[in-house]
Amino acid sequence: MASKLEALEQWVNQAAALTRPARIHWCDGSDAEYQALVQQMLADGTLIELNQQTHPGCYLHRSHPTDVARVEHLTLVCHPNREDAGPNNHWMDPAEAHAKIDALFDGCMEGRTMYVIPYCMGPIDSPLARCGVEITDSPYVVANMRIMTRMGAAAQARIEREGTFVKGLHSIGELDPERRWIMHFPAEFSIKSYGSGYGGNALLGKKCHALRIASNQARTEGWLAEHMLIVGIENPRGETHYVAAAFPSACGKTNLSMLIPPEGYRRDGWKVWTIGDDICWMHPGADGRLYAINPEAGFFGVAPGTSDATNHNAMRSISHDTIFTNVAVTADNQPWWEGLPGAPVTDWQGRPYDPANGPAAHPNSRFTVSAKQCPTWSETAEAAQGVPISAIVFGGRRPSLLPLVMEARDWSHGVLMGAAMGSETTAAATGAVGVLRRDSMAMKPFCGYHYGDYFAHWLSFDRPGAKLPKVFHVNWFRKGADGKFLWPGFGDNLRVLEWMIDRAEGRASGAETPIGILPDEGELKLDGLRLERARLEELLEVDNASWQAELSAIGDYLASFAPRLPERLRREQQRVVQALEDDAGPSRREAAAS
């Protein structure tokens, strides 16, 4: 019988026979290896050195203009049974998919180096972590995987001990959009990606492994792989509560994970700790609580919108030893994007900046940086057993209807809140503005199996002995009649998190409504915040008639996952419908005024 390492070598040899590289390099993750890769990429133009006085160790990569984002229509989840992929995924028969992509891989690495990247998602000694190996012909991918995962010799040693790993085969190919696929084979623990060098398509440890493959693995093994940040909130008594939160894109995930408390809170001794900004793996512990790790070791963040005003901690994180992708540069060769001071002279494609060509930095331009460079990074991010989760938060961008914060009455209601979440489209997206797009648990592009089965898996955690986190829904984006945001957001979001922690500890009673528990009079601490009472009431208003329409729409959305929709979730939706009908009197605000 082949040794555990021989199984890895066998697979590498098969990949080499298919792709026919000029040479094979097994990555060890060392500083020397990274520096040699950087020098090689500087020499061939893959990387451009930035101003080493202002940004030491920082480099710029410009990707092909047709290769700047995830490509959902070319991203397949190839379960043997089509039904298992669900209406939330694109599917192809595994045999057909392998044949189609292997024809592209045939000889694609001739004249190139094949890099073998053993990596670990999660702390290297954590029983909650899982390993993978990515084969690629892109040194840019190697450099990014070194930042984003625990990559190299230690990961290879763990793979040798355990014998199980996710197999990822990647080639940038010709970077031809017509010859591009990102394929997942959950039953085989394997990923094949061809024709793209972009992060989410090429850094296979990230969305491909840590969400699409891991969500399947988690379902089988009894845990959750989620598109969530993890943040620690330390109160003046030195107690830290950990919160996991899921938001669709453009809803402030990274900002919340690196939140800076308002001045009064800082003065009182509140601290915020960053565990992760994007992915969360949660396992039930022996005590019945959910424990979470961040499987990633770095941040692959969106640059535009990141500034000292919006995220001071992110700006400090990326001041050194960072790879920037598709940003603009200034006259003195500093990285630049919209929202920063100064002015660009060269755009993301390397052209002299001309506003007629669009934004200087690509709207999806990125930075890749070690999480340990974040000023609020916490050592508990390396805790082998993970951190205990006190609250799970869902949220979306809704200009009306959804209150600032509401708590689910129990786990089933919390799963319904997560399943129903969504955002209204903004001018940043193509198509009509103000259209509601549901994105259950912010996992629509990343759940590697049928959403109906996924909701059932979430519900399965509610069992005897479980001490589950409280579940909340937030909406930082509610607008008043003047079209302006009612809530200041950013650091002041800590006020809402404090109420959640008070609820988790039984210190706040809350106010029961048909849609959930809302903060009662005086429970949100608003000291030092200029917020008129009328605006606060509007933030917490429950409009019964509009909510009845919302619940009807949620029912239609859930029905799209029949026959695999759990009956328990359908009953929960019906329970809220009934509660709204029973309560169809005056609104909270009208009742308070009368």
pLDDT, tens digit, 9 for 90 and up, residues 360-377? 999 999 999 999 999 999
pLDDT at 586: 59
Average pLDDT estimate for 567-577: 98
Confidence tier at 214 by pLDDT (50, 70, 90): very high
Query: Is 306 flagged in the annotation as binding?
Result: no
Rounded distance, CA 201 to CA 170, Å?
9
Rounded distance, CA 501 to CA 499, Å?
5
Query: Distance of alpha carbon 218 from its chain centroid, rounded?
Result: 17
Residues 4-50+66-222, CATH architecture = 3-Layer(aba) Sandwich (3.40)
pLDDT at 1: 38
Query: Is 269 flagged in the annotation as binding?
Result: no
Confidence tier at 169 by pLDDT (50, 70, 90): very high
The answer to whether 404 touches 539, Cβ cutoff 8 Å, is: yes
pLDDT at 251: 84
Give the model confidence (pLDDT) of 511-529 as tens digits: 999 999 999 999 999 999 9
CA-wise closest residue to 170 among 216, 139, 212: 139
Query: Is 491 flagged in the annotation as binding?
Result: yes
Query: Is 34 flagged in the annotation as binding?
Result: no
The answer to whether 395 touches 255, Cβ cutoff 8 Å, is: no
Query: Is 219 flagged in the annotation as binding?
Result: no
Average pLDDT estimate for 379-394: 98
Task: State how far the alpha carbon of 508 is from the alpha carbons of 52, 272, 493, 520, in Å.
Answer: 51, 21, 17, 8
Give the model confidence (pLDDT) of 450-502 as tens digits: 999 999 999 999 999 999 999 999 999 999 999 999 999 999 999 999 999 99
pLDDT at 435: 86
The DSSP result for 338-405, as a single string, is TTSSS-EEE-TTSSBP-GGG--SS-TT-EEEEEGGGSTTB-GGGG-TT-EEEEEEEEE---SSSS-SE
In one letter, which amino acid is 485? F
Catalytic residue among 251, 280, 374, 447: 251
Average pLDDT estimate for 572-587: 89
pLDDT at 177: 94
Tokens representing 556 are 């239609």
pLDDT at 264: 96
Which residues make Cβ contacts (< 8 Å) with residue 266, sequence separation at least 6? 260
Query: Is 253 flagged in the annotation as binding?
Result: yes
Query: Is 467 flagged in the annotation as binding?
Result: no
- Is the peptide bond preceding residue 563 cis, with omega within 30 degrees of 0? yes
Backbone angles phi, psi at 244, to 5 degrees: -110, 135
Rounded distance, CA 221 to CA 214, Å?
10
Average pLDDT estimate for 29-38: 98
Query: Is 240 flagged in the annotation as binding?
Result: no
27 assigned to active site: no
Average pLDDT estimate for 145-174: 97
Q: Is 212 helix (H, G, I), strand (E, B) or coil?
A: helix
Query: Is 492 flagged in the annotation as binding?
Result: yes
Query: Is 510 flagged in the annotation as binding?
Result: no
Query: Is 283 flagged in the annotation as binding?
Result: no
Q: Please report, for the chain, the start and end positions of each structural domain, with discontinuous segments joined by +.
A: 4-50+66-222, 226-296+381-593, 298-373
In one letter, which amino acid is 227? H
Query: Is 252 flagged in the annotation as binding?
Result: yes
pLDDT at 3: 65
Is the entire prediction scored with pTM above 0.85? yes
Query: Is 254 flagged in the annotation as binding?
Result: yes
User: Is residue 587 scored above 70 in pLDDT?
Assistant: no
For the domain 226-296+381-593, what is the CATH code? 3.90.228.20
Confidence tier at 584 by pLDDT (50, 70, 90): confident
Query: Is 412 flagged in the annotation as binding?
Result: no
pLDDT at 212: 98
* Site of tokens 């972009």: 198
* Domain 298-373 superfamily per CATH: Phosphoenolpyruvate Carboxykinase, domain 2 (2.170.8.10)
Give the model confidence (pLDDT) of 84-133 as tens digits: 999 999 999 999 999 999 999 999 999 999 999 999 999 999 999 999 99
Average pLDDT estimate for 56-73: 95
Give start and end residues of each alpha helix (H) in 123-182: 139-148, 153-162
Query: Is 207 flagged in the annotation as binding?
Result: yes
pLDDT at 396: 94
